[in-house]
Chain A
Amino acid sequence: EPEVTQTPSHQVTQMGQEVILRCVPISNHLYFYWYRQILGQKVEFLVSFYNNEISEKSEIFDDQFSVERPDGSNFTLKIRSTKLEDSAMYFCASGGGELFFGEGSRLTVL
């Protein structure tokens, strides 16, 4: 069964540090997404990515966030200067019709 893989599974960082979360989507998929879930809350959309560019982003996805697909397989989410409120589970998804989610990367900002 095809799967989306995410690394790291858990990262602890100090406030103000840069964090890169990585995702390997399913190889023949063209649409990629990042979502986040703050503890105890529902999953929220961050950004969608198609044809090597952002197709939609939410209000949450401000200038401290960026996404790229550096090598045709990995799909990364960068948070430039982390804040306490960035502590959440971050999910990558790929597909479009049926969606495939990664296991998530838990980010803890101290």
Chain B
Amino acid sequence: KNEVEQSPQNLTAQEGEFITINCSYSVGISALHWLQQHPGGGIVSLFMLSSGKKKHGRLIATINIQEKHSSLHITASHPRDSVVYICAVQKTSYDKVIFGPGTSLSVIP
């Protein structure tokens, strides 16, 4: 069984829609990361969470440690948000990152 699962695998939305990507994990963690992977392959860190909620611009990430679940929300989605979003976890600080399979988002004008 994969330690990190994401849903949906693929998501198509109309510009302006509110988007939610879900992540569930099966191990104890010290941190959860949300990452973007761009078409050329480069990976950019969006958030690192250990509890609660973080917001950056139109992106909001939440985590529920008890339920082993996190969500990434995008408000007022835009075509430039069309990349792959990856959830990843660390069991302890400085441990390797365990990656989820990614969610491919396409926002249509």
Q: How large is the interface on A (under 10, 10 to 19, 20 to 34, 35 or more residues)?
A: 20 to 34
Cross-chain contact B31 with A45 (CB below 8 angstroms): no
Please classify how large the interface on chain B is, using the bins under 10, 10 to 19, 20 to 34, 35 or more.
20 to 34
Q: Is the interface of A mostly helix, strand, loop or mixed?
A: strand
- A56 neighbours in B (Cβ, 8 Å): 95-96
Bound CA span A102–B44, Å: 9
Residue-by-residue, is A88-110 near B (CB-CB < 8 Å gives 1, otherwise 0)? 01010100111111111010000
Contact B99 A42 (CB under 8 A): yes
In the complex, the answer to whether A101 meets B42 with C-beta atoms within 8 Å is yes
Contact B93 A97 (CB under 8 A): yes
Chain B contact residues: helix, strand, loop or mixed: strand
A12 at the B interface (CB under 8 A): no
- Contact at B42–A104, with CB atoms within 8 Å? yes
Return the chain B residue nearest A45 by Cβ.
B96
Residues A99 and B97 in contact, CB atoms below 8 Å apart: yes
Which of A42, A44, A50, A99 interacts with B45 by CB under 8 Å? A99
Q: List 23 A-B contacts (CB under 8 A).
A: A31-B94, A35-B97, A35-B99, A37-B41, A42-B99, A42-B101, A44-B99, A45-B96, A48-B96, A56-B95, A56-B96, A91-B43, A96-B93, A96-B94, A97-B48, A97-B93, A98-B45, A99-B48, A99-B97, A101-B45, A103-B41, A103-B42, A106-B41
Chain B residues close to A by CB (< 8 Å): 31, 33, 35, 40-45, 48, 86, 88, 93-102
Query: Given contacts A44-B99, A97-B94, could you give 15 more A-B pairs where the C-beta distance is less than 8 Å?
Result: A35-B97, A42-B99, A42-B100, A42-B102, A43-B43, A45-B96, A45-B98, A48-B96, A96-B94, A97-B93, A99-B97, A101-B44, A103-B40, A103-B42, A104-B43
